[in-house]
Chains A and B, each alone.
Chain A
Amino acid sequence: MAKELVAFRNLETHFKTSAGTVKAVNDVSFSIREGETLCVVGESGCGKSVTAMSLMQLIESPPGKIVGGEIFFEGKDLLKLSKKEMSRLRGKEIAMIFQEPMSSLNPVFTIGKQITEPLLYHLNMTQKEAKARAIELITMVGIPRPDKIFHSYPHELSGGMRQRIMIAIALSCDPKLLIADEPTTALDVTIQAQILDLMRDIKTKRNTAIMMITHDLGVVAEMADFVVVMYAGKVIEEASVLELFREPRHPYTQGLLKAKPVINQRKERLYSIPGQVPNPVDLGENCHFHDRCEFCMEICKTKAPPLRAHIDGHKTACWLYEEEGKAQ
């Protein structure tokens, strides 16, 4: 098995709001191995993006703060690094692409300027070297006429092309980890297929580890080696992709898989999870899914289930699989 590249240990990221404390990330632990694609799935507000932002230390403070836990990257605890050390890592060892290719590029600088920036800053290249490398990168992400694109501005490109440019910027310093936060959500399906192909290509050619955040289980099935499912700030299930889709164990994961309409498998009626995601302010110490769960027991309302492996490598946080829960 490949070496562990990133490890989250009991990460706690909280946001202070006027209504109370939101535990956006609540005791989250998982790890990413070298060259692996790990997908974090969950619905809006489940803390998947905040987990990634905590890793990059891009949490706006206040209101947000990492209040506990550790994040190891190649054995170093990122939370103990100085601002300067972190800034050297960011964009070089760990790069990130965002959901909105429209708003994540600076509209007043040319594409060339934005691609060469990390090369000049992190790799101390000369302008000339940086330009040559930038053109190489633009070609690599599949955009024709790189010389012309180098001098264009973001508004002259389509959404799919901007996302390719974002990927080119992220890959410019050959990072060990690429974080992709909903990279295809804003794109049309045919363009999504192109971008996913490109990312798969990068992974095989460069052995870059990818942490991909998505809400689309279809994308997960296509991209992931390993999957982490989050709900209301907690990891509720993790397993290899084949295992998770073959035997989802948490009722929430099962519900998500049943609720999604699948092409060429028309059903009379879609399964739907009743109710809605709980208000994230001041959640109690119980299973946060209990009021939507059809298997809810007394213990679920009063005590949070531990995340434990019941089958090899497949962890679930649910009382249904615990001795304490089975007793009821």
Chain B
Amino acid sequence: MSESTVPLEKSYVGGNGEPLIQVENLKKYFPITGGVFQRRVGDVKAVDGVSFTINKGESFGLVGESGCGKSTIGRTLLRLNDKTDGKVYYEGKDMHELSKNDLRKIRTKMQIVFQDPFSSLNPRIKVGDAIGEALLDHGLVSRKELKERVIETMKICGLADYHYDRFPHEFSGGQRQRIGIARALIMNPEFIVADEPVSALDVSIQAQIINLLSDLQQEKQLTYLFISHDLSVVEHLCNRVGVMYLGTMMEMAPTEELFSNPLHPYTKALMSAIPVPDPTLKRERIVLQGDIPSPANPPSGCKFHTRCPMASDICKQEVPEYRNVGNEHFVACHFA
């Protein structure tokens, strides 16, 4: 294993207080090419200097609108993308410095569940084989034991054993998402990145999957990075939440603190934009004007200033400091 370790700093006591993932000033730029020679003419700054820690047993939520870089963070943590700059440590080991062999070993401990249960399963592979594939590939079980292990995992995820020989098209969206979860779970992972796992599902099915994820976490002491655009789902499932906008972390706090005392104007706007199923409720809604600017050419100073109802001159010129305001509540705003 690579020896680049960092002193483990206890920045937040959540889960059991020991950091599992540490992200330091992570940057991921995607090049924009143009012209006849496909020269690099600019960068899409998908993730632009983000730092956070996820403790063991914690579920950390990342929220934000499309294009804010939340999925890119998930993929870069697992090294499914290369980083541009910054560090990602998994139990003190630098993920992006590991050799191919070490990476392969460590990957069995981290798994990902994708958003779209329709495109993330191969239509020609039987569900049982798809779930067991990684176990065989890593040589963790013999062929004999395989079926037993797969069926055991399928049952935990609410699937029946006769589903083993079926193909993905025979399943509904919710069941496919259970297959996706079973595929991740069979490796006995420590850490799961769940990238919008319930966004494509109907409300009644969504609740089933959310409950399954939270049961699994308690039984197996899993650590989650839960990526979603839906604040109400994140509030339900996560201990701590980070709010992103255009590749930057705007605010981060323990869930209760964030929802009872949101400080960043963007977080407040996001919360007030969610329709609440109560027709008697009359709320003062903050409606943000305009669209999200292009991440290829983000605004100067505070990236949110173009849509912020509180913006003043300082916001256009100076990038606000991302600071702890107490109660492990971090925020990047000049006025918070």
Residues of A near any B CB (own CB < 8 A): 43-44, 158, 160-161, 188-194, 196-197, 215-222, 224, 241-242, 245-246, 255-257, 259-264, 266-267, 269-274, 276-277
Contact A217 B277 (CB under 8 A): yes
Q: Is B203 an interface residue (CB 8 A)?
A: yes
User: For the complex, what is the distance from the CA of A219 to the CA of B203, rounded to whole Å?
Assistant: 13
Closest CB of chain A to B276's CB: distance in Å? 6
Contacts of A263 in B (CB 8 A): 231-232, 235, 259, 271, 274, 276
Contact A270 B211 (CB under 8 A): yes
Closest CB of chain B to A185's CB: distance in Å? 10
Of B7-15, B109-117, B179-187, B284-292, the stretch lying at the interface with chain A is B284-292
Given contacts A43-B202, A259-B207, contact A190 B273 (CB under 8 A): yes
Closest CB of chain A to B266's CB: distance in Å? 9
Contacts of B287 in A (CB 8 A): 190, 193-194, 197
Apart from A161-B291, A190-B273, A261-B210: 15 A-B pairs, beta carbons within 8 A: A158-B291, A191-B291, A193-B285, A194-B289, A197-B287, A245-B280, A259-B204, A262-B276, A266-B236, A267-B236, A270-B207, A270-B210, A274-B208, A276-B172, A276-B175
Contact A261 B277 (CB under 8 A): no
Contacts of B172 in A (CB 8 A): 276-277
Contact B279 A221 (CB under 8 A): yes
Residue on B nearest A264 in the bound complex, by CB: B259
User: For the complex, what is the distance from the CA of A217 to the CA of B204, rounded to whole Å?
Assistant: 12
User: For the complex, what is the distance from the CA of A90 to the CA of B270, rounded to whole Å?
Assistant: 37
User: For the complex, what is the distance from the CA of A260 to the CA of B233, rounded to whole Å?
Assistant: 9
Closest CB of chain A to B14's CB: distance in Å? 16
Closest CB of chain A to B201's CB: distance in Å? 9
Residue on B nearest A161 in the bound complex, by CB: B291
Contact A193 B273 (CB under 8 A): yes
User: For the complex, what is the distance from the CA of A222 to the CA of B285, rounded to whole Å?
Assistant: 12
Closest CB of chain A to B271's CB: distance in Å? 6
Contact A260 B292 (CB under 8 A): no
Residue on B nearest A227 in the bound complex, by CB: B279
Question: Which of B205, B210, B288 lies in contact with A276, CB distance below 8 A?
Answer: B205
Contact B277 A220 (CB under 8 A): yes
Contacts of A222 in B (CB 8 A): 275-276, 279
Pairs across A and B, CB under 8 Å, 5 listed: A43-B203, A43-B205, A190-B287, A191-B291, A259-B203
Contact B204 A43 (CB under 8 A): yes
Given contacts A260-B277, A270-B236, contact A190 B288 (CB under 8 A): yes
User: For the complex, what is the distance from the CA of A244 to the CA of B192, rounded to whole Å?
Assistant: 39
Given contacts A158-B291, A245-B278, contact A192 B204 (CB under 8 A): no
Contacts of B98 in A (CB 8 A): none
Please report which residues of chain B, range 17-41, place their CB below 8 angstroms from some CB of chain A when the two chains form the complex.
none
Contacts of B259 in A (CB 8 A): 263-264, 266
Given contacts A255-B204, A266-B236, A273-B204, contact A221 B291 (CB under 8 A): no
User: For the complex, what is the distance from the CA of A292 to the CA of B202, rounded to whole Å?
Assistant: 15
Please report which residues of chain B, range 260-282, place their CB below 8 angstroms from some CB of chain A when the two chains form the complex.
269-281
Q: Is B174 an interface residue (CB 8 A)?
A: yes
Contacts of B203 in A (CB 8 A): 43, 215, 217, 256, 259-260
Q: Is B257 an interface residue (CB 8 A)?
A: no
User: For the complex, what is the distance from the CA of A216 to the CA of B65, rounded to whole Å?
Assistant: 18
- Give the one of B173, B236, B278, B279 with max A CB within 10 A: B279
Closest CB of chain A to B297's CB: distance in Å? 14
User: For the complex, what is the distance from the CA of A262 to the CA of B235, rounded to whole Å?
Assistant: 9
Contacts of A274 in B (CB 8 A): 208
Q: Is B229 an interface residue (CB 8 A)?
A: yes
Contacts of B232 in A (CB 8 A): 260-263
Contacts of A191 in B (CB 8 A): 65, 291
Contact A188 B204 (CB under 8 A): no
Contacts of A277 in B (CB 8 A): 172, 202
User: For the complex, what is the distance from the CA of A158 to the CA of B292, rounded to whole Å?
Assistant: 9
Closest CB of chain A to B181's CB: distance in Å? 15
Residue on B nearest A224 in the bound complex, by CB: B279
Contacts of B205 in A (CB 8 A): 43, 276
